[in-house]
Structure 1
Amino acid sequence: MLQSLQSVAFAEISLAGDLISANRGFYVLLQLAPDSVVDHVGPYINNPSFTELAAGAQRAMPGQVVYQGLITFLGELGEPRSLLARVCRQGDHLAMIAEHDVRENENLLAAVMDLNEELAEQQRALARANRQLAAEKAEQQRLLQELATAQAHLVQSAQLVSLGQLAAGVAHEINNPISFVRANVATLGGYVGDLLAIIDAYAAGEALLAQDPSLLARIHRLRERCDLDFVRGDAVAVVAESAAGIARVARIVSDLKNFARINESEWQVADLHACLESTLNVASHELRGSAEVVRQYGPLPALHCCPGQLNQVFMNLLLNAIQSLEGAGNGPGRIFLRTGRQDDQGWIEIEDNGRGIGPERLPRIFEPFYTTRAIGAGTGLGLSSAWGIINAHGGRIEVRTEVGKGSTFRIWLPLSRTTSE
């Protein structure tokens, strides 16, 4: 209806003077053809000027009346025409209504005011919704943090149990063949000794074999081909080295079985030096060729703890130290293992001369799922689970680090039992 009226001029104008929309009556007022292009409305409005109206609109609130009274309009041919008009701020622009029929103008203005009031109410509702959304977002962040912590604990528990079961299963499967290989090597050693004794007995009768030159020549050729003198000396060494290797494998299996106690929740008295050594033995393939381990053990009494869980802490810290050595450029990699006690506290320290930890990362290293390694190369749960285990033992972890020089993780544990079973 408003678009079709010619007795009422209505227009929406930006504060810069651009015509946003206008009805037919506005074009008639300016003596322009409908839908004519109007670059700027400033030249068509006078007394007050459009600049004054725009300045008033900038100071007004949305929906507020900026000006009400007579406005002189200049037509395309410069002919002035004064009309009763009302100008309101409409959002980020102004709305203008001018007409001869005051009653129709009042009706239209009332409609505009109602629309403005409705818009203002919608804006207030939007503000309330935004405040509620912000509160809900803060609550979601808190819940997500709690969920991440709970998920980290679940993953840690599942990881510990799975690792323990895997290690125990592997140790059991390896232990069976080791048993009969060890027995067979011992038997083989006896056989070798017997065969060498028989060979020596035959060698004693070599003078008798000289009566058959062809047979003796064939025996000499066979002896040279088999290098009997070398075999005689090496066979015993080979059997001894095989027995030593089997003994080493058996020791690794034993350490692996001890390490597999990671899923045990029963507290027991354990020697932490033995725990460190078994962890080192399990991680020997990672250490080989990458780092020298320097042991500096001090007095540390047996501790009432969950040794399997502490093994996991030592393993996580040891692997982090090994990884820190990669590309550090500090010469030969070295890892120091130190222990000691202070009053009623025992401590275990693992130090490396690796890359160190930057100050921007240090506050987050114990957060669940935080990792600086490439995607798929780490879960970000190693230090988090270590913190949780030590905290459950009533202890704490301290960190000293310097970029380019290395890091030191010191574990403090109470020597008296302070946590519940």
Structure 2
Amino acid sequence: MRTSANAAPESVLIVDDEPSLRTILSFIVQRVGAVPVVAPDAATARQLAAKHTFACALIDKNLPGENGLDFLKWLRSVQPGCNALIVTAYGNVDSAIEALRLGAFDYLLKPFEVDALEHRLKLALQQYRMRQEHERMQAMLVQADRLASLGLLAAGVVHEVNTPLAYILSNLDWIDEELPSLRKALEGQKHAGKELASLAERMAGLESTMRDIREGAERVRHIARDVKAFARDPGDASQLVDLREVLDAALKMALVHIRYRARVVRDYQDVPLVLANEARLAQVFLNLVVNAAQAIPEDGGDHEIRVRLWTGPNGEACAEVGDTGMGIPAENMAHLFEPFFTTKPSGEGTGLGLFICKSIVESFEGTITVDSRPGVGTTFRLSLPPHVRSSRATRPAEPVVSAAVS
């Protein structure tokens, strides 16, 4: 039995002021294969829960210094994944209902049968393990979608890198030819003014070429940096995120899909910062932008991909990605966010993109909706709660139209 050591991944917190009962509960926890971590009161239990993660908790309703239901409420706020069982000798229907309303997994009366408590504790642990496995699988699906998107972007990245590389190599070839010629010319000079002026012009040309090479190399570095940032596993860390920066990054990544299909129309108004994972939001916007581009036929028409940002009526940060593409048939609208649903040809879509988008947005307590009319276009709208109400100045509210994304 442990009292203050580091809790194992599947530890059970026992909060009871009776030493004999703590011993019995610890024995039951060990029988189900978990590690008991005991506390004689709520204050000690708070200290333990602030440092360690628990799969389950066995909480006495009547504790010295703090009511067990008050501790339950606090525990649910700091560890919502912990399945708590209230154990009490002074139970009634009202307290049981209150415990369940506060998020208790179960409610047991003393005296209890050891087998009965063991069975309920096993159920609580099983649910915890299933929830952990679901979260692990969800994370794997998100990463799989990221890799699928990265594969989709590979051809575009190669194209974008090849363009600056082409003039870098071309300019290097020119410099390789020009430098020996300049060296020979300088070696043969006998202080002739006209020839030196010609050499000065050629040196100026070299300087200009070197600037072009530097610019091209910077472009390659930025492309590589964007791809690396998108490809890496972002983990679960959240931070303050500016949706404008995330949306612009997604547009840059999807440039090859947009360039020959549509022009981008930006309408960025003031939006608050949001507390989210920047890489995961970039995954959402990239998916939506690529889908918008793929929905637009390559028919030479005057098509648009419209991206908007604005602040909602309740201070929320709102974003919109719309297109003037083919639209979505009515019979498909109800299935858009279902896993593995896709209308793309075999091999061109996993059916996970929009499902992952919805999961990511909802994980940040946001919402995503869609509006579409066949033959007119489709618009996806996101809403995320603000982290702060104020926001710094953004670009002008008037729409900014661009034929390409820089």
TM-score by length of 2: 0.49
- Over alpha carbons, which structure has the higher Rg? 1
So what's the TM-score if we normalise by structure 1?
0.48
Larger RCO (CA within 8 A; separation ≥ 6): 2
